[in-house]
Amino acid sequence: MLITGLLTIAAFLLIASAASRPGKSPILMLAGMAVLSISIAGHMISYTSIFPAVTALSAEIGVGLLLVAGFLARKKIPAKPFFFLGSASLAVCILLLGIGHFLDSGGDNSLARNADLTTLLVELGPDDSIDEISSTLAKFNADYERAFPRVTLRMDENLAQVYLVTTRTTHADRLKEELLGDVENIDHVGLNWTVGLDDPIVSREAPEITRAVLENDPFVSLQWGMEAIRGHEAHALIKDLTPERKARVAILDTGVDAKHEDIRSAFSSSPAASDVHGHGSHCAGIAGAVTNNGLGIASLNWEGEFIEVTAYQALNDQGVGTIEMIAQAIIDAARDEVDVISMSLGGKSEEAPKTIVDAIKFAQRHNVIVVVSAGNSNEDAIDHMPSNVDGVIVVSAVDENLQKASFSNTNGSLAMPITAPGVNILSLKTEGGYVQMSGTSMSTPMVSGLVGVMRAFSPDLTADEVYAILHSTGRNLGESSTIGRLINAEEAIKAVR
């Protein structure tokens, strides 16, 4: 763009020189017009849409005409027409800039409302600056901002250098190609794609437990999953014990209804303390609802003494989140020194997005154990993210018969597979009440809650140590080679006491 701008100015200097000569110098005039034509053509090629091209040309032509006016005035030649035309051209430029700002800021305009935009995650090298690629971004009329402004180079030189770059979808592939070609400044470019929830709907009623149990939660008899993982026996084991400290289990989801009666006293101040959607609240209840409080359901969090639940917004009110949103939630939870991150989300991706990989590595360096869902596509979780990220515990789901849930992905091809109940799981309903849901979204926080209790007794446990205990104490099912062993809460807690 700098070259085309200089060509425009040069063209008007030639025109001014021609106009100041007695014979009007047709050769210089033609040369000036030719250079101006080249400049205009260059703008059309350089810019990916007419709007920024016309805006830039208006500014350059305005400056050029004012230069002509000044040049002619010094020669005592009438220059008012050039002055007025130059001023008008600059006024057009200012008007176009105002319109562009209005559209970009989401003004009441159908074009702005319907703009088809794509956002890329662009990672610069640790020694590079966004200014070094500004000409490329301007060429595609792309906006940019730091993806994780609170992360410094000292904290993580990859995440600190990630930018959100937004352009029109029709330009995204060309922009990505040009950025990837800039090997001197660009380390990685990826799409900031969206992840949604797709839990299956199960309508049948869960079996009711008829034997006497220790807990006084009124709906505990409807929680077949507690029976399957020997949760009642775990409660008998820990009810008179004191943990080293409470463990913090972070639910990265749609938020958590922090005012719900059965989680309120176990909820710790955190960014996502409300939940319009409901998915996150359901997960939170499974992981850490206060048990033996005479209300609602039971989790492994006996009388709220072992787990604090925190929440971070990885998904919006519609249950959809971008790669950047999920990574930001991971980073924030890690910086807040949680013990366990529970993520009941994901999407199909044979190779996990680098930004997610880097964010999980960031959390692991902060001694956070990351537990993720295998997914609900009845496929191999190795082709889904974040289950295919190294170092995470991946949870599949079983039904009431302790067989792989029909929807559950398998996870046996991954390094840390485990399974837990995930069909007809009763838990919190946002804004009060209780509801059954099914999915690996439900089995995952059941494992996260157990890991939280383990960390409460032994805060220095690593992810590898935790998984080794879950696996060695877990119940071997007929399908364990493909879905992992079923967690045994009683024996896992015994192993860490």
Q: Which tens digits make up the pLDDT trace of 374-424?
A: 999 999 999 999 999 999 999 999 999 999 999 999 999 999 999 999 999
pLDDT at 365 over 90: yes
pLDDT at 73: 74
Across the range 200-218, mean pLDDT stands at: 76
Indicate if 441 belongs to the active site.
yes
pLDDT tens, position by position, 418-454: 999 999 999 999 999 999 999 999 999 999 999 999 9
**Other CB atoms within 10 Å distance of the CB of residue 244:** 11
Q: Is the pLDDT of residue 75 over 70?
A: no
pLDDT at 248 exceeding the cut of 90: yes
N- to C-terminal Cα separation, the chain: 67
> Per the residue annotation, which of 221, 299, 344, 441 is the catalytic one?
441
The domain ranges of the chain are 2-104, 116-192, 220-496
Q: Which of 282, 329, 298 is nearest to 439 (CA)?
A: 282
Strand blocks (E) in 169-303: 186-191, 194-196, 247-253
Q: Is 221 helix (H, G, I), strand (E, B) or coil?
A: helix
Buried b (16+ CB within 10 A) or exposed e, 204-219: eebeeeeeebebebee
Any idea which of 61-65, 200-204, 383-387 has the lowest mean pLDDT? Answer: 200-204
Cα distance between residue 421 and residue 436, in whole Å: 12
Number of Cβ within 10 Å of residue 130's Cβ equals 16
Catalytic-role residue among 156, 217, 253, 262 = 253
Maximal C-alpha separation, the chain: 111
Is 116-192 CATH 3.30.70.60?
yes
| pLDDT confidence bin for 107, thresholds 50/70/90 | very low
The proportion of the chain whose per-residue pLDDT surpasses 90, expressed as a percent, equals 73
Strand partners, 247: 307
For residue 95, pLDDT over 50 is answered with: yes
4-8, 180-184, 242-246, 275-279: range with lowest mean pLDDT: 4-8
pLDDT at residue 16 tops 80: no
Rounded to the nearest integer, the mean pLDDT of the chain is 89
Q: What angle do CA 418, 493, 370 make, to 5 degrees?
A: 45
- Cβ 195 vs Cβ 318: under 8 Å: no
Question: Residue 410: which residues within 8 A CB-CB, separation 6 or more?
Answer: 374, 379, 380, 381, 396, 404, 482, 483
More confident residue, 30 or 299: 299
Q: Are 317 and 277 in contact (CB under 8 A)?
A: yes
Catalytic residue among 43, 232, 279, 384: 279
The residues near 115 (Cβ < 8 Å, ≥ 6 apart) are 103, 168
Query: If you average pLDDT over residues 102-129, what whole number do you get?
Result: 69
Give one word for 319, left, alpha or beta, with left for phi > 0 and alpha for psi -120 to 50: left
Measured between alpha carbons, how far is 93 from 473 in angstroms, rounded to an integer? 71
Residue appearing with tokens 């849930």: 405
413 is annotated as an active-site residue: no
Residue 108 confidence (pLDDT): 36
Whether 116-192 and 220-496 share one fold: the answer is no
- 89 flagged as catalytic: no
Q: For the chain, what percent of residues have pLDDT higher than 70?
A: 85
Query: Which range among 29-33, 169-173, 339-343 shows the weakest confidence by mean pLDDT?
Result: 29-33
Q: What single-letter DSSP state applies at residue 420?
A: E
The pLDDT of residue 4: 61
pLDDT for the residue 112:
35
Distance of CA 136 to the CA centre of its chain: 25
**Confidence label for 50 from pLDDT (cuts 50, 70 and 90):** low
Question: How many degrees, rounded to 5, is the angle at CA 234 between CA 372 and CA 420?
Answer: 30
Mean pLDDT of 15-24: 65
Better-predicted residue by pLDDT, 21 or 338: 338
CA–CA separation, 400 vs 4, rounded Å?
A: 70
Q: Is the distance from CB of 467 to CB of 418 less than 8 angstroms?
A: yes
Condensed to tens digits (0 to 9), the pLDDT of residues 123-152 reads: 999 999 999 999 999 999 999 999 999 999
Give the separation between CA 252 and CA 441, rounded to whole angstroms: 11
Give the CATH number of domain 220-496: 3.40.50.200
